[in-house]
Amino acid sequence: MHWHGNAAAGIAMALSLLAALPAASAEAPIRIGSPYATSTLDPMRSAAAGNIETFGQLYSRLLRRGADGALEPGLAVSWDISADGTVVTLKLRDANFSDGSPISAADVAFSLLRVRDDAESAYAAPLQQLKEARAEGDKTVVLTLKHPFAPFLGNLEVFNAGIVSKADVEKRGKDAFTKDPVTSGPYMVGEWRPNDRLILKPNPNYWRVGYPKNAGAELIEVPDANTRVSMMLSGELDAARDIPWSRVSEIQAREGLTLPLEPSTVIYMTLLNEMKPPFDDIKVRQAAAHALDAPAIAKAMTLGHAKRATTTLPAVDYHAADYPGIDYDPAKAKALLAESNYKGEELVILASSSGDNDKLSVLIQAQWTAVGIKSKIEKVDRGVWWERIPAGDYHASASWWYNETLDPDLAVRWALCGSCGSKSFYTGYNNKHVDEMTEAAARELDKAKRAELYREIQATTTTEVSQIPLFYAPYANAYSDRIKGLGMNPMLQWSLEETTVAGE
């Protein structure tokens, strides 16, 4: 689960304006502007927005997501799961790295194990159930699991499960990811200018013959939202991430530009610290939830472009979309407060100084004040935020997260499971029954039964207010008509290799 890597550097904006015209080639590269930096080229080393998008362009994974979101063969042509569900045998296709060397089963085992084991691995959770990864010959990988695990194939498609060259990484170490990394994906690195841009050029050895359908791309850092909009309007960018909500309609109305509001697995919610008073009391949490007018907050924050959240999970598979959610009921909130342990203490709402987080915090504070929950806002930078939240040094904080795959298992483990490392996104929410259901749902191979379990998890955690769900924000990416076929899937992956550039 990941978050904005907030681009702190303001300099990149000026630089990108200056350097918008690279050498004129036969076909100009596709220029994508984003506030999120590419800070490493090693798929294991980061779980931040910006890098997640980049990893998908440089490294192929065993499975891939088709345009419809279904899992398709990637580097693995076929797979076989043993009857007891614990051994997954994958057959690799004949594919080569960008340096021409073959992608072997040993590379696959190496790539997966370093995500699971390396001390610097940023996000080892998807491969925790992997007991053993073994190469059988050059083209067969045998993955043994600790127990049957339904989400496993999907987890092989997560952003950090890209296949890297064992020989190259062992030979060059960290340098393998700074200078001209050997890649397995549609692109290789033309040039990387940290804090400015990453220039991608097609990987001639990419296994999908005929892809990428373009001459390359530039991932350009443009931290300021209004600058990204201006650059889109003036044709300096072909696509831009995170158009501010206040400019969405303007872009949509503009000839030559589109802004489709693509579905995401993002959820905005309010964390409540359940490890100390007053939010250790379920009645105070329920009061805090009933006090918030989630539909109005969604409307005010996104100017009507997002749907209110009704459960504690984002729009992943098995999302209980018909669950009614927590209704806005200030009278009920007051009644619950009166029965609770809360005696009018002033609570701390921790606001991150990035984006419009303080706006969201001010809204929450105002609606809480209306029912008698007193609070003050403390605005801190993201670094401090990430120290204080895990340390439990807060009462409440509005934030967001996203799930890197469509299966809900990792989402539940991140945000709702009290015994899963992140202690329910550091709220300390801890319901043994939810934890048991989490494990049961992960092992359950029957889809209907899984759906039932996830529904109960969502119902329980929403009723008990593990967090207060606020809204589901789509991705507001803008595209120029100069390019065709570019989009972003809910897992933050661009369909860049499918993209064509219209006539110059």
Cis peptide before 212 (omega within 30 of 0): yes
Looking at beta carbons only, is 9 or 380 nearer to another protein?
380
Q: How far is the CB of 399 from another protein (least distance, A)?
A: 16
For residue 165, the one-letter residue type is S
Contact residues toward another protein (CB under 8 A) are: 225-226, 229, 244, 246-247, 250, 293, 296, 299-300, 303, 351, 353, 356, 358-359, 361-363, 365-366, 376-381
Looking at beta carbons only, is 25 or 246 nearer to another protein?
246
Q: How far is the CB of 334 from another protein (least distance, A)?
A: 19
Looking at beta carbons only, is 249 or 341 nearer to another protein?
249
Angstrom distances, CA of residue 471 to CA of 107, 130, 232, 264: 41, 34, 27, 12
Looking at beta carbons only, is 124 or 292 nearer to another protein?
292
Instruction: Give residue for tokens 């945000």.
Output: 415
Looking at beta carbons only, is 349 or 406 nearer to another protein?
349
β-bridge mates for residue 78, sequence order: 91
Looking at beta carbons only, is 120 or 381 nearer to another protein?
381
Q: How far is the CB of 473 from another protein (least distance, A)?
A: 15
Looking at beta carbons only, is 90 or 229 nearer to another protein?
229
Looking at beta carbons only, is 229 or 347 nearer to another protein?
229
Task: Compute the chain's Rg from CA coordinates.
Answer: 23
The two beta strands, 478-480 and 500-501, are unpaired
Helices (H), 303-351: 330-339
Helices (H), 66-151: 105-117
Q: Are 303 and 248 in contact (CB under 8 A)?
A: yes
Helices (H), 234-343: 245-253, 282-291, 294-302, 330-339
Q: How far is the CB of 400 from another protein (least distance, A)?
A: 17
- 242-249 contacts, C-beta under 8 A, 24 or more apart: 242/34, 242/35, 242/475, 242/476, 242/477, 243/476, 243/477, 243/478, 244/476, 245/301, 245/302, 245/303, 245/305, 245/476, 246/303, 248/303, 248/305, 248/476, 249/303
DSSP conformation class of 276: S
Q: How far is the CB of 364 from another protein (least distance, A)?
A: 11
Q: How far is the CB of 302 from another protein (least distance, A)?
A: 11
Q: How far is the CB of 303 from another protein (least distance, A)?
A: 8
Q: Are 323 and 310 in contact (CB under 8 A)?
A: yes
Q: How far is the CB of 300 from another protein (least distance, A)?
A: 5
